[in-house]
Amino acid sequence: MFIEHLQLTNYRNYESLNLDLSPKINVFIGENAQGKTNVMESIYVLAMAKSHRTSNDKELIRWDADYGKIEGVVQNRYGNFPMELSISKKGKKGKVNHLEQTKLSNYIGQMNVVMFAPEDLNVVKGSPQVRRRFIDMEIGQISPVYLHELLTFQKLLKQRNHLLKINHGKQQIDDVLFAIYTEQYIHSAVQIIRKRFHFIELLQEWAEPIHSGISRGLEKLTINYRPIAGLNPDWSTEEMVTYLEQKLAEVKKRELERGVTLVGPHRDDLQFSVNGYDVQTYGSQGQQRTTALSLKLAEIELIKKETKETPILLLDDVLSELDDYRQSHLLNTIQGEVQTFVTTTSVDGIHHETIQHAKMFHVKQGEIKK
């Protein structure tokens, strides 16, 4: 899969931009704050209908404009098709092959991307919230139904939290209504947790040998999904439901005191271990970077296996963050197979032949020249 053409209208610092792209390597060179990352971000937004940099969609629209638009022509194994995402104060609208998608969850997954930026190191060393977002975004690309389930869960969590909030500090609650909300919440939570367990199991299968290769066989990477409730991935749905019922009964008093739901997938986490040690706590910066790189390369292979399409790789100012060995490993892996976009201030320090044969774009003050 690759994107043949990209067109931006009123996006960030671009009033208008039209680019014909290479199906292999595309390198955007320029100083900082010139618009390189904006191009990279636009491809991500076209695929995912949201930015990896901001949750405020208004920031994506060019200053003083009423709307922004990203258009692309995508090639997959069946042929090419246009995609379009419009952003305005009223929200976002997505079109695939000129047909407007009634739900964005139907739109996502048409074009698959893997983003690797310096902030992706936070997947390893950042907060649990960052890791949960990583899981949800990646599962959503290979399983659009997961996005429906996630939206349902978030709605039920909001309803349950609202009931807890209005009864905040009270010893009693409307038990009938609360029981209904809790039952619906538990069944939705279990669906999310089971999907996450399965995804991490698949990710582990790909990431472990990749990490071993990068570390020259010296390190073994283990990825574990850590539900706050302590659920076991081998349990049946019924066993998980029963266990969550017990856990929520145990914390009911505390939930009333605090006014929030204390147990569920919105509080779960991922753990990355190398040779049995927690990378987040005990890993060196090199080990954390190797773990993040292994995850991204594993994502490519996982998406390829699940969708039968090779995803597009976005490397935003990340090559300079990797030493020569990790740089070469990454570029050797993608060579000739994965359409890749690279942003960098200079290619002088990158000696790999893949970059030497790339299509170069020079970015300066929101203008791009070949």
Q: Residue 310 corresponds to which tokens in the numbers above?
A: 């090779």
Mean pLDDT of 50-69: 91
Ligand-binding annotation for 33, yes or no, is yes
Is residue 335 pLDDT above 80, yes or no? no
- Per-residue pLDDT tens digits for 29-48: 988 888 899 999 999 999 99
The answer to whether 72 and 46 are in contact (CB under 8 A) is yes
The reply to whether 133 and 275 lie within a common domain is: yes
pTM above 0.85, yes or no: yes
pLDDT of residue 27: 92
Number of CB atoms found within 10 A of residue 113's CB: 24
The reply to whether 262 and 362 lie within a common domain is: no
Domain interval for residue 81: 1-112+310-369
Strand 67-76 relative to strand 2-11, pairing: antiparallel
Mean pLDDT of 118-145: 89
Q: One-letter amino acid identity for 26?
A: N
Q: Give residue 230's Cα distance to chain centre.
A: 25
Q: How many domains does the chain have?
A: 2
Q: Residue 226 corresponds to which tokens in the numbers above?
A: 């850590």
Ligand-binding annotation for 34, yes or no, is yes
The reply to whether 224 and 326 lie within a common domain is: no
Is residue 294 pLDDT above 70, yes or no? yes
- What burial letters (b/e) apply to 229-268, b meaning 16+ CB within 10 Å? bebeeebeeeebbebbeebbeeeeeebbeebbbbbbbbeb
Q: How far apart are CA 294 and CA 208, in angstroms?
A: 8
Ligand-binding annotation for 30, yes or no, is yes
Residue from 6, 8, 116, 19 nearest 359 by CA: 19
User: Rounded to whole angstroms, what are the CA distances from 65 to 12, 57, 60, 61, 283?
Assistant: 10, 13, 10, 7, 46
The reply to whether 145 and 273 lie within a common domain is: yes
Sequence-distant (≥ 6) Cβ neighbours of residue 29 within 8 angstroms:
36, 343, 344, 345, 346, 347, 360, 361, 362, 363
pLDDT of residue 313: 94
pLDDT of residue 14: 93
Mean pLDDT of 306-335: 85
pLDDT of residue 159: 94
The reply to whether 163 and 263 lie within a common domain is: yes
* Residue ending a domain, choose from 308, 329, 345: 308
Is residue 351 pLDDT above 90, yes or no? no
The reply to whether 82 and 187 lie within a common domain is: no
The answer to whether 18 and 91 are in contact (CB under 8 A) is no
Residue 172 pLDDT grade (very low, low, confident, very high; cuts 50, 70, 90): low
- Per-residue pLDDT tens digits for 247-290: 999 999 899 889 999 999 999 999 999 999 999 999 988 899 89
* Residue ending a domain, choose from 284, 308, 332: 308
The reply to whether 186 and 95 lie within a common domain is: no
* Residue ending a domain, choose from 288, 308, 328: 308
The answer to whether 110 and 312 are in contact (CB under 8 A) is no
The reply to whether 230 and 336 lie within a common domain is: no
pLDDT of residue 203: 95
Q: How far apart are CA 102 and CA 55, in angstroms?
A: 21
The reply to whether 6 and 132 lie within a common domain is: no
The reply to whether 287 and 319 lie within a common domain is: no
The reply to whether 338 and 219 lie within a common domain is: no
Ligand-binding annotation for 261, yes or no, is no
Q: Give residue 117's Cα distance to chain centre.
A: 11
Ligand-binding annotation for 35, yes or no, is yes
pLDDT of residue 52: 85
Is residue 120 pLDDT above 90, yes or no? no
Is residue 202 pLDDT above 70, yes or no? yes
pLDDT of residue 169: 66
The reply to whether 190 and 333 lie within a common domain is: no
pLDDT of residue 325: 82
CATH code of 225's domain: 1.20.1050.90
Ligand-binding annotation for 32, yes or no, is yes
- Segment holding 151, helix H or strand E: helix 144-166
